[in-house]
Structure 1
Amino acid sequence: MERADEDGTDHRRRTGHRQGIVTRLRSDGWRVAVFDLDAEALDEIGAADPGLLALPIDVGDERQVAQGMLALQGWLKGQG
């Protein structure tokens, strides 16, 4: 993922927004899955909460989305 500025400020802000949403949903008792192209952001989010599913998926790629949905189904059934 391309960063908008040299110091990564936009990247950190986007990751912070994602993390805030994930934290809120998890604190409300939800199981959370995150699909994103930004592998670095997924690593950060996953490290902060190992109880969620974080997959590097291009949602514009039908095959990747189908694979992600299969992984999600398995995870929800306790197989992942």
Structure 2
Amino acid sequence: MQFNVQLDTGRIDLTSLEQQLQSLDPSAMADFDTLGRTLRISTSLEEHDIAAGLARAGIAVPVHAIERQASTCCGGCGG
């Protein structure tokens, strides 16, 4: 699943964030769109787990600020 989080911060430590998320979901990935100030997260975790991982990485956001995106998976790779 993909999630978007709007952030006020200009910089984040993606390595630390991914380590926190990957401790629960080894395939989790994140990137940050600096222009749109949007953190994009791909993971099988639920919103409350994402919020906890973000908090451990120094990014405090409420659970309701984590927006689940509609799936774009075509199922072609079997994943």
Higher helix proportion, which one? 1
Greater CA radius of gyration, 1 or 2? 1
Per the normalisation by structure 1, the TM-score is 0.29
Per the normalisation by structure 2, the TM-score is 0.30
Higher strand proportion, which one? 2
